[in-house]
Amino acid sequence: MENKLQELTRKIYNEGVEKAEQEAAVILDNARKEAAALTAKARTEAEEIVKQARANADEMLRNAQSEVRMSSKQAISAIRQQIAGLITAKVVESPVKDVISDKSFIGDIIRKALEHFNQDAALILPAADQQSLEKYFGTRLNQVLSGGVEVKFDDRIKGGFKIGPKDNSYLISFTDEDFQAFFRSFMRPRTINLLFGGE
């Protein structure tokens, strides 16, 4: 009986070990499959992340190159404008100053401008030129003043003059800055064309 009990115990033990080994094999197989699935999923996600990172890097590179091209074009354009501006200023400033300092030329323009205002005008002249203009106009200035034209002198005007109705509703400016701005706007396209071939 003892032998049968030992044999039965051994049989139960062996069946238990065999069953445990089978269950362990199933668990181990499932674990391997799950690990393989997780590894495959991780690889796929890693590949997607790398792919997205490369796409982002490529886009950033394209944007940076585009920005550099645009910035360089703007810088070249700005340099060209500055060069043209400097040359135009040299070409325009001296002749305009010569013309504006010619009292007879300015006097003729003032007389013609006053004819169109029918003596209902305000004339603003440069304060620095007050004595020379009074000397140039002489008695004519007194005639202009007695004719009802209001004459003022302004420190802000360096050359030329401004004229308008006495009610100050508007002023027409003939200052040296105005003439220079006019001639610069006229000369700048020609200067750019001459220097850079019309680009």
Residue count (the chain) = 199
Residues 21 and 60 in one domain: yes
The residue assigned the tokens 């006019």 is: 182
**Residue 191: which pLDDT band, with cuts at 50, 70 and 90?**
confident
Same domain, 180 and 116: yes
At which residue do the structure tokens 């550099």 appear? 68
pLDDT exceeds cutoff 70 at 136: no
Nearest to 112 by CA among 53, 20, 174: 174
141 in a structural domain: yes
- Amino acid (one-letter) located at 2: E
Domain limits for position 17: 1-69
**For residue range 2-45, what is the model confidence (pLDDT) as tens digits?**
777 777 778 887 777 788 888 888 888 888 999 888 999 989 99
If one counts the domains in the chain, the total is 2
Q: What CATH number does residue 147 fall under?
A: 3.30.2320.30
Percent above pLDDT 70 for the chain: 89
Neighbouring CB atoms inside 10 A of 45's CB total 10
DSSP secondary structure of 130-183: HHHHHHHHTHHHHHHHHTT-EEEEETT--SEEEEEETT-S--EEEEHHHHHHHH
Claim to verify: residue 101 and residue 173 sit in the same structural domain = yes
Tens digits of residue pLDDT in 141-171: 656 555 667 778 888 888 788 888 877 788 8
- Classify residue 91: in a domain, yes or no: no
pLDDT of residue 70: 92
Residues 147 and 59 both lie in one domain: no
Question: Is residue 38 assigned to a domain?
Answer: yes
pLDDT digits (tens, 9 = 90+) for 91-104: 777 777 777 777 77
pTM strictly above 0.85: no
Residue 122: count other Cβ atoms within 10 Å of its Cβ.
17
Q: Compute CA distances 105 → 12, 108, 112, 159, 174, whole Å.
A: 131, 5, 11, 12, 12
- Whether residue 180 lies inside any domain: the answer is yes
Is pLDDT at 48 greater than 90 in this prediction? yes
CB 164 within 8 A of CB 171: yes
How many Å apart are CA 51 and CA 62, to the nearest integer? 16
pLDDT at 50 over 80: yes
Residues 113 and 175 in one domain: yes
Please tell me whether residues 108 and 187 are part of one structural domain.
Answer: yes
Query: Where does residue 89 rank: exposed (0-12), middle (13-18), buried (19+ CB within 10 A)?
Result: middle
* pLDDT given at position 140: 62
In a domain, 75, yes or no: no
- Does 45 share its domain with 108? no
Q: Which residue from 177, 160, 100 is spatially nearest to 126, judged by alpha carbons?
A: 160
